[in-house]
Structure 1
Amino acid sequence: MHDFCFTIPYGLLLVGGGVFGYFRKGSTASLFGGAGIGLLLTLAGYLSLQAFHKKKNSYPALILQTVCAATLTWVMGQRYLQTSKIMPAGVVAGLSVLMTGFYLYKIATGGNHIAAKTK
């Protein structure tokens, strides 16, 4: 599975959560944090997709994805430990730890594997 297959939906989910948090509670932290990192992840996923179309790997995009997911794991994990609230801190921390593991796996295995051209 390619990194952009999960990164783009993950980023869009964070954007939606950030916008939802802003409209529901008026939280600018949700808007800038969730939507900001979500847009950054969506952009990184798009760059990775474009590199894949060119039959290349985009290691800068993969590293950016890993840093964003690890940062969200840390920040939302800390928030979950302080508040014990499952939504949104626990869910985002759990999802982010899974994505961080996935990105580390992709880095360790050489990124997106480009299939050899078949005859």
Structure 2
Amino acid sequence: MHDFCFTIPYGLLVVSGGIIGYAKKGSTASLAGGLGTGLLLILAGYLSLQAFHKRKNSYFSLILETACAAMLTWVMGQRYMQTSKIMPAGIVAGISVIMTGFYLYKIATGGNHIPAKTE
């Protein structure tokens, strides 16, 4: 699987979570964090997709995706440890740790594998 296949939906999920947090609790921190991180993830996924169309790897995108997922793992993991609330902190931390592992795997294996051009 290519990183952009998971990054764009993951970014949309983070954006949605920030908007829902703001709508339910009036939390501007949720809105800013969700929109900021989610839009960065969507941008990184888009850049990776564009590089794939050009038959190249975008290591910049992979590093940005990994940094965002690791940051979300740390922040939401800390919040989960303090509050023990599964929703949203535990869920976001769990998804983010899986995504961080996926991105590290993609970096270790050389990024997106570009299929050979057939004529």
With the shorter chain as reference, the TM-score category is: over 0.9
- Which 4+ runs in 1 deviate beyond 3 A? none
CA distance in 2, matches of 1:85, 1:51: 39
Residue number in structure 2 paired with 1:17: 17
TM-score normalised according to structure 2 size: 0.99
Residue number in structure 2 paired with 1:75: 75
Q: Unmatched 5+ residue regions in structure 2?
A: none
Q: How big is the alpha-carbon RMSD for the aligned residues of Structure 1 and Structure 2? A: 0.5
Shift of 1:34: 1.1
Secondary structure of the residue aligned to 1:69 is helix
Residue number in structure 1 paired with 2:51: 51
TM-score normalised according to structure 1 size: 0.99
CA distance in 2, matches of 1:80, 1:116: 45
Q: Aligned letter for 2:85?
A: K
Identity of aligned pairs, percent? Answer: 82
Q: Aligned letter for 1:50?
A: Q
Q: Aligned letter for 2:92?
A: V
